[in-house]
């Protein structure tokens, strides 16, 4: 069965890049561009993993992460926070909101795929 990954990012170039990387690696990819859509799609589709930007319209990435992680129906879905914000404060905020991993943009393709494999394998 093909694993599904939800990408929530408001930058089209990032979504296209992730689509290329993830499809090439054999994943099915779902997309949306704001936090509210992302939250609703995650609840509806229950993906195997979510890649979540922090700076999103309507609902920021921290809120989306917290809403999913503190809901028993969705807390098992691994979430990778993907952001250009590198401060320790941002990393701590991501951890506090329940994120499973923190990936700085721009990231290396290998780094992303390795992180996904680790998180999905643990969740299988």
Bridge partners, residue 50, by sequence: 6, 79
Identify the pLDDT of residue 122: 57
pLDDT in tens, 74-89: 999 999 999 887 778 8
Percent of the chain with pLDDT over 70: 98
Domain boundary assignment for the chain: 4-115
**pTM (2 decimals)?**
0.92
Contact 50, 80 (CB under 8 A): yes
4-115 carries CATH number 3.50.50.60: no
pLDDT in tens, 1-26: 789 999 999 999 999 999 999 999 99
Contact 40, 16 (CB under 8 A): no
Other CB atoms within 10 Å distance of the CB of residue 87: 9
Place of tokens 């599904």: 4
- Rounded to whole angstroms, how far apart are CA atoms 51 and 68? 13
Contact 29, 18 (CB under 8 A): yes
């Amino acid at each position: 069965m093909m694993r599904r990954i939800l990408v929530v990012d408001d930058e089209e170039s990032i979504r296209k890049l992730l689509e290329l990387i993830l499809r090439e690696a054999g994943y099915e990819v779902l997309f949306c561009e704001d936090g509210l859509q992302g939250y609703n799609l995650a609840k509806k589709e229950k993906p195997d993993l979510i890649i979540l930007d922090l700076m999103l319209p309507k609902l920021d990435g921290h809120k989306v992460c917290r809403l999913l992680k503190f809901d028993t129906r969705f807390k098992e879905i691994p979430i990778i926070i993907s952001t250009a914000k590198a401060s320790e404060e941002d990393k701590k905020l991501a951890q506090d909101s329940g994120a499973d991993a923190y990936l700085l943009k721009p990231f290396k393709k290998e780094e992303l795929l390795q992180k996904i494999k680790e998180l999905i394998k643990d969740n299988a």
